[in-house]
Amino acid sequence: MKQKQSIKKAETNWFYSETVKEHFFNPRNICKTEKELAEFKKEANGYGITGSPVCGDQMEFLIKVDLATDRIKECRWRTFGCASALASTSVLSEMITEKGGMKISEAVKLTPQDIIKRLHGLPAIKVHCSVLGDQALRAAIKDYLKRQGKESQ
């Protein structure tokens, strides 16, 4: 009986929104294996990698951009991180690819606060995790612009 009570108590101590929970358990656009990452990397036209010395997480982010419209059509990512890093990047990947894809000029303006808002909040101690995906996306966009000869944009 005591074990059931402690399990029940643990279930009610989830400090994240249902959106965070959903994206943590069912991340979107994630590369689950080295092979998936390598295959998408061949097709991507933007690649970024970043890490956080605060928590030791590392993030890789890849984008495919429609060159005619400058819209992000697809993205994939991989992280070694916590629930907040996974959920933040998963929701970010949806934000930039939904509705036909976000223009590069719009995607570069996204902030960690935009991601947190879409997640319906994060615990204050985990806000830094939302920055990982944001920084990795910015690195991928910078790489894309460099490859296209548009570095000054």
Let me know if 55 is a catalytic residue: yes
Let me know if 31 is a catalytic residue: no
Measured in whole angstroms, the distance separating CA 20 from the mean position of its chain's CA atoms is 12
Determine the Cα–Cα distance for residues 80 and 3; give it in Å rounded to an integer: 31
| Catalytic residue selected from 31, 75, 82, 129 | 129
**Is 149 in a helix, a strand, or coil?**
coil
| Catalytic residue selected from 31, 55, 75, 82 | 55
What are the backbone dihedrals phi and psi of residue 32, each rounded to the nearest 5 degrees, phi first?
-90, -20
Written as one string, the DSSP assignment of 72-117 is EEEEEEEEE--HHHHHHHHHHHHHHHSTT--BHHHHTT--HHHHHH
Active site residues: 55, 129
